[in-house]
Amino acid sequence: MNTNTVYLDNAATSPIAPEVKEAMVKAMDVFGNPSSTHGYGRESRILIEQARKNIAKELNCEPGEIFFTSGGTEADNLAIQSSVRDLGVTRIISAPTEHHAVLYPAEHLERQSNVKLELLSVNEHGDINLDELEKLLSSSDEKTLVSLMHGNNEIGNLLDLDEVAKLCKQYGALFHSDTVQTIGHFKIDLKDTPLDFATCSAHKFHGPKGVGFLFARGGVKIQPQIFGGGQERNMRSGTENIIGIAGLDAAFKLICSDREEEEKRLNNLKGWMIEELKANRPDILFNGRSGDIGKSLYTVLSIALPSDGKNDMLLFQFDMKGIALSGGSACNSGAQKGSHVIESIRPDLPTQNIRISTGRYTTTAEIDNFLQAFKELSKG
**Burial category of 341 from C-beta neighbours within 10 Å (exposed 0-12, middle 13-18, buried 19 and up):** buried
Query: So what's the pLDDT on residue 379?
Result: 74
3-class DSSP state for residue 326?
Answer: strand
Half-sphere exposure of 43 (CA within 13 A, CB side): 11
Active site residue 331: yes
Tens digits of residue pLDDT in 82-112 = 999 999 999 999 999 999 999 999 999 999 9
pLDDT at 230 over 80: yes
Helix (H) or strand (E) holding 314: helix 314-320
3-class DSSP state for residue 244?
Answer: helix
pLDDT at 210 over 90: yes
Mean pLDDT across 355-361? 98
Mean pLDDT across 351-369? 96
Query: So what's the pLDDT on residue 347?
Result: 82
In the chain, the domains with their CATH numbers are 6-15+258-377 (3.90.1150.10), 18-257 (3.40.640.10)
Query: So what's the pLDDT on residue 329?
Result: 59
Catalytic residue among 61, 168, 256, 331: 331
Query: So what's the pLDDT on residue 333?
Result: 47
Q: Are strands 212-216 and 197-201 parallel, antiparallel or unpaired?
A: antiparallel
Mean pLDDT across 19-32? 97
Mean pLDDT across 14-38? 97
Tell me the CA distances in angstroms from 332 to 57, 104, 309, 358, one per residue in order: 35, 13, 23, 20
Distance CA 177, CA 189 (A): 14
With cut-offs at 50, 70 and 90, classify the pLDDT of residue 219: confident
359 Cβ partners below 8 Å, 6+ apart? 10, 14, 15, 206, 266, 299
Distance CA 336, CA 90 (A): 34
**Between 39-59 and 242-257, two packed helices, what is the crossing angle to 10 degrees?**
30
Tens digits of residue pLDDT in 137-173 = 999 999 999 999 999 999 999 999 999 999 999 999 9
**Between 18-27 and 242-257, two packed helices, what is the crossing angle to 10 degrees?**
150
Q: Are strands 6-7 and 323-324 parallel, antiparallel or unpaired?
A: parallel
Query: So what's the pLDDT on residue 331?
Result: 58
Q: How many residues does the chain have?
A: 380
3-class DSSP state for residue 157?
Answer: strand
Question: What is the SS3 assignment for 38-91?
Answer: CHHHHHHHHHHHHHHHHHHHHHCCCHHHEEEECCHHHHHHHHHHHHHHHHCCCE
Query: So what's the pLDDT on residue 351?
Result: 81
